């Protein structure tokens, strides 16, 4: 069902682009080409038709987009959990992390280092 709606959405988008490109904001476009007096549809009727077609396609596109959002295929329940929720559940507790021993220099080592620095320079 989702793929049918997606194809219909693409078709409506293409038609909407074509209808908008045919119109001219200054009163020209397709309507200005039908200026002949022997046309079945006059200039005004063509402009009305294009305007109604634009609004109809725009509303149809909106409806198809809303319908597509309702029919998006969803996976099983495991796929519904968010990636952030998966990271939270798989995270390690900081108190359970590895215990890294911290070595502090012995008091005797510090004294030897200070003695080396205090020796007079030659």
pLDDT of residue 110 exceeding 80? no
CA triple 30-35-37, angle to 5 deg? 140
Q: What is the pTM of this model?
A: 0.50
CB 7 within 8 A of CB 71: no
* Residue whose C-alpha is closest to residue 8's, from 46, 73, 62, 55: 62
pLDDT digits (tens, 9 = 90+) for 26-59: 655 555 555 554 455 555 677 788 889 999 999 9
- pLDDT at 28 (0 to 100): 54
Q: Break the chain down into helix, strand, coil percent, rounded to 5.
A: 65, 0, 35
Highest-confidence segment of 1-5, 27-31, 45-49, 99-103:
1-5
User: Any idea where the domains of the chain sit in the sequence?
Assistant: 2-73
pLDDT band at 86 (very low <50, low <70, confident <90, very high): confident
């Amino acid at each position: 069902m989702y793929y049918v709606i997606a194809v219909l959405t693409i078709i409506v988008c293409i038609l909407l682009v074509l209808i908008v490109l045919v119109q001219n904001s200054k009163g020209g476009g397709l309507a200005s080409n039908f200026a002949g007096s022997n046309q079945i549809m006059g200039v005004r009727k063509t402009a009305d038709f294009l305007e109604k077609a634009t609004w109809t396609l725009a509303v149809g596109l909106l409806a198809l987009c809303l319908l597509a959002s309702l029919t998006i295929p969803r996976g099983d329940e495991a796929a519904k959990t968010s990636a952030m929720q998966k990271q939270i559940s798989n995270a390690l507790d900081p108190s359970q992390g590895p215990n890294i021993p911290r070595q502090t220099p012995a008091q005797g080592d510090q004294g030897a280092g200070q003695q080396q620095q205090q020796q007079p320079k030659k």
